[in-house]
Amino acid sequence: MNKCEETVLLFPAIRAEITRKLINEYAMSQSKIAEILGITQAAVSQYMKSTRGKQLLKNPEIDLLINKMCREISELKKYPDFSEFCRCKNKCS
């Protein structure tokens, strides 16, 4: 399994962290987050309840990318570029 494939396995945890930050720090609605991330509102709700994507991420570089992505999402209201996480995983591993 290559590094990008490994990173894809982290996407639920990444989406969960992005969802929590967008709701808690940027006061974004679940429906808006669902629209931007291309997921259902039910998935957003599950991320918030930790019934989905509950794997903990313990990587400062990934945390920085999540923070950057949340800022960009809140400002631009557009789908984020998840390929940055593949590049990060390649450098961090």
Beta carbons within 10 angstroms of residue 41's beta carbon: 14
Instruction: Pick 40 or 10 by higher pLDDT.
Output: 40
3-state class of 87 per DSSP?
A: helix
Report pLDDT for 2.
Answer: 61
Q: What pTM, to 2 d.p., does this model score?
A: 0.80
Domain ranges in the chain are 3-88
What are 34-79's pLDDT values in tens digits? 999 889 999 999 999 988 887 777 778 888 989 999 999 998 887 7
